[in-house]
Amino acid sequence: MYEVGNWINGQNEASSSSRTSDIYNPATGEIQGKVKLSTAAELDAAVAKAAEAQKAWAATNPQRRARVMMKFAELINRDMDKLAESVSREHGKTLPDGAGDVQRGLEVIEVCMGAPNLLKGEFMDSGGPGIDLYSMRQPLGVVAGITPFNFPAMIPLWKMGPALVSGNAMILKPSERCPTTSMMLAELLKEAGLPDGVLQVVNGDKEVVDAILDNETIQAVGFVGSTPIAQYIYGRAATNGKRAQCFGGAKNHMIIMPDADLDKAADALVGAGFGAAGERCMAISVAVPVGKDTADKLIEKLTPKVEALKVGPYTSDKDVDYGPVITAQAKQRIESLIDSGVNDGATLVTDGRDFSLQGYEDGFYVGPTLFDNVTEDMDIYKEEIFGPVLSTVRKDSYEEALDLVMKNQYGNGTAIFTSDGDTARDFASRVNVGMVGINFPIPVPLSYFTFGGWKKSAFGDLNQYGPDAFRFYTRTKTVTERWFSGIKEGGEFAFKAMD
């Protein structure tokens, strides 16, 4: 049993709070640790210390800040196995998935090594007679990141890298379900040379979140989580005059055209739908085959692949495709939605309810579940399930399939599998979704682009990582300057305006 406190001024600090939250091992269902749920007063104290530390950090040459990121990346690579094990132990995902979690965050840190180029302003001479104009990008001050349980390494790294290298101090509030990885990353940043106080990790729940939103010193908030919470945070942050980028839920569709390679499409759906137990905002949760023949053949190919998936703990020495979901409550909710799909008349092809693993009977496991003949009015379609459940919604034409995607309230990611370039180009051009895959199921952009959805999947004008992150964590100052010529006359300077 271990206890997680906070990371304040470069060291672990126990919270004075009397409230705690249990940290489970999802693979066994056992409580393995506790995290102290910090108070609003502790958050405010951490912010005050961060604001003081930020002054010298902002004055540090951007290239020197980038060197801290270079060393940080080196240390992440050194400790990759430890970080992956931490992710898997508290989240439940397999060790390869845990390492992937860390790796995708590391790629953003690698982009941050080139921050001096991304932080450059603009210059123009002769904007008028003797007048020059230039702009500069300056840090906001103290910013905050509120990150989810499903990517305990990746999302904190997406937040802290661009924010810190831009010269800000950051308050990080990780998920109370998976707090340890963020604490480990904070230790590595200190080892990399980040000055004490520039990153503060404050663990907590809604009390800390509200304190972040109401603290006048914090200038911007980045959030990833569910849509209702994203809307709440965005609204309260905006009311308090803060910048906010808040990323919410998703219901990602993959259209399968009659001319698609169905073997590749089926393989893609299995990986995209069931990897990480479906606990990904970019998971494909709806397959949309076009035409009866396409749908029948797709289900025929999908069924044995889904049935063959292996579910188990991250510690298993056998090949495991995915592990448990995060909590007993999550398992219960997922199984309840499966019940509703059955009751509403969808065809249950494979049933993941009541899945039991010998020796791990108390773990939070849900078996792979595949539905066919799902309709738009069913809860199994409307709700973000966030579990290993794939629904098949049949459509008769491309236009009907496209309309299904466009009418959905979410707009995070989508994909189409086709052999026709014209259809693919039309889909990419017309669909109202932020990230689009063509014969690619999970179109998460590389780290030098930007990540972000549309509609109720995202709130705010700027996306995560890439150039948008540096715009979000800095503000532009533009200077218009004019110098006067000095002409020495009779021992005195007479100044003549250049205009």
Tokens for 337?
A: 């939605």
Q: How far is residue 28's CA from residue 335's CA, in Å, rounded to a whole number?
A: 18
* 281: annotated active-site residue: yes
Q: What is the pLDDT of residue 423?
A: 98
SS3 153: coil
Q: Do domains 2-248+457-480 and 252-438 have the same CATH topology?
A: no
Write down the catalytic residue from 112, 178, 246, 281: 281
CATH superfamily label, 2-248+457-480: Aldehyde Dehydrogenase; Chain A, domain 1 (3.40.605.10)
Q: What is the pLDDT of residues 391-430, one digit of tens each?
A: 999 999 999 999 999 999 999 999 999 999 999 999 999 9
On the 0-12 / 13-18 / 19+ scale of CB atoms within 10 A, 71 is: middle
Q: In the structure, what pLDDT confidence band is assigned to residue 319 with cuts at 50, 70 and 90?
A: confident
By mean pLDDT, which of 195-209, 255-269, 440-454 is the weakest? 440-454
Contact 172, 161 (CB under 8 A): no
Of the candidate CATH numbers 3.40.190.10, 3.40.309.10, 3.40.1080.10, 3.40.50.300, the domain formed by 252-438 belongs to 3.40.309.10
- Residue 491, pLDDT > 80, answer no
Q: What is the pLDDT of residues 349-389, one digit of tens each?
A: 999 998 989 999 999 999 999 999 999 999 999 999 999 99
Q: In the structure, what pLDDT confidence band is assigned to residue 498 with cuts at 50, 70 and 90?
A: very low
Mean confidence (pLDDT) of the chain: 95
- Residue 499, pLDDT > 50, answer no
Tell if the pTM clears 0.85, that is, is over it: yes
Q: What is the pLDDT of residue 444?
A: 93
Sign of CA dihedral 165, 53, 157, 171: negative
- Residue 106, pLDDT > 60, answer yes
Q: Kindly list the domain boundaries of the chain, sorted by start residue.
A: 2-248+457-480, 252-438
What share of the chain in percent tops pLDDT 70?
97
Q: How far is residue 126's CA from residue 362's CA, in Å, rounded to a whole number?
A: 73
Q: What is the mean pLDDT of residues 120-148?
A: 92
